[in-house]
Amino acid sequence: MAEEKKVLIVDDEPDILDLLKYNLEKEGYLVQTALDGIKGVEIAKQFIPDLILLDIMMPKQDGVETCRQLRDLSELSHTFIIFLTARVEEYSEVAAFETGADDYIAKPIKPRALMSRINALFRRKNSKQSENEKIEVGDLVIDRESYVVYQSGNELNLPKKEFELLYFLAQHSGKVFSREDLLHNIWGTDVYVLARTVDVHVRKVREKIGEGYISTIKGVGYKLEIN
State the DSSP string of 161-201.
HHHHHHHHHHHTTT--B-HHHHIIIII-TTS---THHHHHH
Q: Give the pLDDT of residue 88.
A: 61
Say if residue 81's pLDDT is above 80: yes
CA-angle at 100, arms to 204 and 179, nearest 5°: 60
Collect all residues with Cβ–Cβ distance below 8 Å to 139 and sequence separation of at least 6: 151, 152
- Which architecture characterizes domain 134-224 according to CATH? Orthogonal Bundle (1.10)
Say if residue 89's pLDDT is above 70: no
Cα separation, 83 vs 35, in Å, equals 15
Q: Residue 115, CB half-sphere, CA atoms under 13 Å: how many? A: 16
Cα separation, 138 vs 116, in Å, equals 39
Confidence of residue 69 (pLDDT cuts 50, 70, 90): very high
Paired residues of 53 in beta bridges: 9, 82
SS3 (DSSP) at 141: strand
**Lowest-confidence pick of 50-59, 71-80, 184-193, 201-210:** 184-193
pLDDT tens, position by position, 10-61: 999 999 999 999 999 998 899 999 999 999 999 999 999 999 999 988 888 9
Q: Where in the chain is the domain with CATH 3.40.50.2300?
A: 6-128
Q: Where in the chain is the domain with CATH 1.10.10.10?
A: 134-224
Q: What is the CATH number of domain 6-128?
A: 3.40.50.2300
- In single-letter form, the type of residue at position 92 comes to S
Confidence of residue 114 (pLDDT cuts 50, 70, 90): confident
Q: Give the pLDDT of residue 2.
A: 44
- Report the pLDDT averaged over residues 163-174: 91
